[in-house]
Amino acid sequence: MEWLGKDNLTRTSIQIAAEARWEDAVSVEQTDIDALRRWFVDAGPNVAIEGVYCDEARNFVGFFGFRRIIEDADQRISFWLSVIAASKAYQMQAPCHQLAAWLSLMGVPSPFSSAPAGTQLGVFNQWLSAGPVNLNDGRLERQDVNAGPAWIREGATAPICKEQFWLAPERVWIAQSVSRFDKGRYRIDPHLLP
């Protein structure tokens, strides 16, 4: 996804979630270190992180993230706090630099060396509650529109994103907005999604 290499984007937040519940995501920047430590203990082993990016006009562009399952609470706290600390240096750099740093911390190769394991369309921070749609060949088919969740036809309350994911060996994903804000709702932009 070409937006990853753009220098004019700003990371507006790093968020964490447990058990893929992005509806309950916690902003790292707005949470003190002691509260983060408690959160990582209470979250359980299945934790994920995302970097969220906007353009110069503060329009949402996309996000990427990864999941790691760490059973031991002390190891979980140590790993995730090291990821958060290492992320501070990349806030004003092109998103590809942050992604490369995270992949290095995970000890996994770039996901771009293989085809994605899948592509989905979903609503930012509402992936579970709004319900994602699996895309075949990266395309939204007429049957997806007719039988899919209501947000495909009626628009959503948050940006609609196309997400590619890899299992490398843990899940890594990269998503970009494919919607525009119109009449109080985010609607799929046919120019951005075939």
Region for residue 182 given its phi and psi (left: phi exceeds 0; alpha: psi -120 to 50; beta: otherwise): beta
Residue type at position 86:
A
Residue type at position 10:
T
Cα separation, 194 vs 97, in Å, equals 28
| Tokens 């395309």 found at | 139
Q: Of 11, 23, 22, which is closest to residue 84 (Cα–Cα)?
A: 11
Angle between helices 95-106 and 73-87 (to 10 degrees): 150
pLDDT of 118: 93
Alpha helices in the chain (DSSP H): 33-43, 73-87, 95-106, 127-130, 142-147, 150-154
pLDDT of 194: 65
pLDDT of 170: 80
Cα separation, 172 vs 59, in Å, equals 23
Digit-by-digit pLDDT tens for the chain (194 residues) are: 789 999 899 999 999 999 999 999 999 999 999 999 999 999 999 999 999 999 999 999 999 999 999 999 999 999 999 999 999 888 888 999 999 999 888 877 676 778 899 999 999 999 999 999 999 887 888 888 999 999 999 999 999 999 999 987 788 999 999 999 999 999 999 877 76
Residue 136 corresponds to which tokens in the numbers above? 């075949």
| CA atoms within 13 A of residue 127's CA, in its CB half-sphere | 18
Residue 92 corresponds to which tokens in the numbers above? 């004003």
pLDDT of 136: 86
pLDDT of 168: 73
DSSP state of 189: -
